[in-house]
Amino acid sequence: MCLFCKIIDGEIPNKTVHENEEFLCFHDINPAAKIHVLIIPKKHYDSFDVIKPELMANMTKFIHEVADKLDVRENGYRIITNIKEHGGQEVNHLHIHLLAGEYVGRLVGAKK
Please state the closest distance from residue 91 (CB atom) to ligand AMP, in A.
Answer: 4
97 is catalytic: no
79-83 contacts at long range (C-beta below 8 A, 24 or more positions apart) = 80/107, 81/47, 81/48, 82/47, 83/47, 83/48, 83/49
Please state the closest distance from residue 66 (CB atom) to ligand AMP, in A.
Answer: 15
Query: Which element (helix H / strand E) includes 96?
Result: strand 96-100
Residues 6+ apart with CB under 8 A from 104: 33, 77, 78
Please state the closest distance from residue 81 (CB atom) to ligand AMP, in A.
Answer: 7
28/65 with CB nearer ligand AMP: 28
38/67 with CB nearer ligand AMP: 38
Instruction: Enumerate binding residues for ligand AMP (CB under 6 A).
Output: 3, 12, 14, 28-30, 38, 82, 88-91
